[in-house]
Structure 1
Amino acid sequence: MAADDLTIVLADDQELVRAGFRVILESEPGLRVVGEAADGAQAVDAVVRLRPDVVCLDVQMPGVDGLEAARRIAALDDPPAVLVLTTFDHDDALFQALEAGASGFLLKNASPERLIEAVRTVAAGDALLAPDVTRRVISRATATPALGSSRRPVASASAAVTAAGLTERETEVLRLLARGLSNAEIARELFVGDATVKTHVSNVLQKLALRDRIQAVVWAFEQGVAG
């Protein structure tokens, strides 16, 4: 295994499913499955022991399910990115996964190419949400403060940006985040390096006191900054 390979733990109660995912992921250069788990408790143990870059979690597993496992993993020091894989396209599962700290949500009937892309996306620190899913998150989050900002809405977008202390470039990055762009896509849009974008995103999250990119997108829509 090369030192720069992305390492992955697979958690699913069906051995055949895990075997299929392993074959797909390890067919891609630079991806290595370093551990497997048949339930959420085993998944947490594997993450603690193996320190992977990404953990792929099924939602429905016996004992500790994927959502509880995601919560426990998110509470670890320097946790891996969590990609939730499920056969159910239900809003409740989606929002519970995001609230639990998942970085992405993917249906098991996705193409092999999409699975590989999803693992690389969450490993790079990007949230994996398709535009239609993003709209559902925003709609739900604006009605449910738990996912979005707890701040009182500010009178205007410019006032919100000023109150948050965002620079002009950070505001521009936030607007592109709200459009669903990845770090690499933002870098191309702004003609800067990926590392520069990552720094801007980190600054935005810190200044807004938000957990992740998804909350930043919600904040942008709530405050009228996304337009």
Structure 2
Amino acid sequence: MKKNLGYLGDLLALFFPELCAACGKSLFKNERIICTNCVYHLPQTNFHEDPNNKMARQLWGRFPFVQTIAFLYFRKGSRIQNMMHKLKYRKSPETGIRLGELYAYELKRSDIFKKSDLIMPIPLHPAKFKKRGYNQSECIAKGLSAILNIPINTKNLVRLENTETQTKKSRYARYENLVSAFDVKEKSELINKHIMLIDDVMTTGATLEACSLLLQEIEGVKISICTIAYAE
């Protein structure tokens, strides 16, 4: 917004500089959300170049999928954690959109998702959505969609239960906590679709597993998994 205000924008930038979501330093005029230095040094996984990547191996045998990829490695205390925290808890949906765009530029260089029919973010429970004001996975999906030209579906997959925090649970406990937490409204709209399922960070994969198994009850549905970060 400040960049469109001319001299007033320059004056505002002196007193209220826009800060990088990763490192917290002031952004230059030509930078948006994440500074050039942080973009250059993003810890990319390059999972899209390896169908047998460690994220895929973690999910093998749990549910069928076409591809499973993540953009960045997530490590505690890192700039990636800063961005994920800002996205989820600091009212910064634009961080998710920007990360989705950056990943989409990488994916555009390969054929990995050109055959996907739609992008579907993991939904939030309405109570959590109301409190946060947006769904962080949907923000990521918007960035991906804008560059990859794949439509987003945010209405069909819904969250029925506002499950308790998953942070300290085991993989199985997380899955048990989520197994009945989701539902699909209009299954007929998804028949024979290849869905790119979007989440922010994959840790145990329990949420992705619960949603994928539910969606795969629909005739002909194929699932690919895409997250911004992968927790090692």
Classify the TM-score, shorter chain. Answer: under 0.3
TM-score, normalised with respect to structure 1: 0.28
Report 1 or 2 for greater relative contact order, CA contacts < 8 Å, sequence distance ≥ 6.
Answer: 2
Q: Which has the higher helix share?
A: 1
TM-score, normalised with respect to structure 2: 0.27
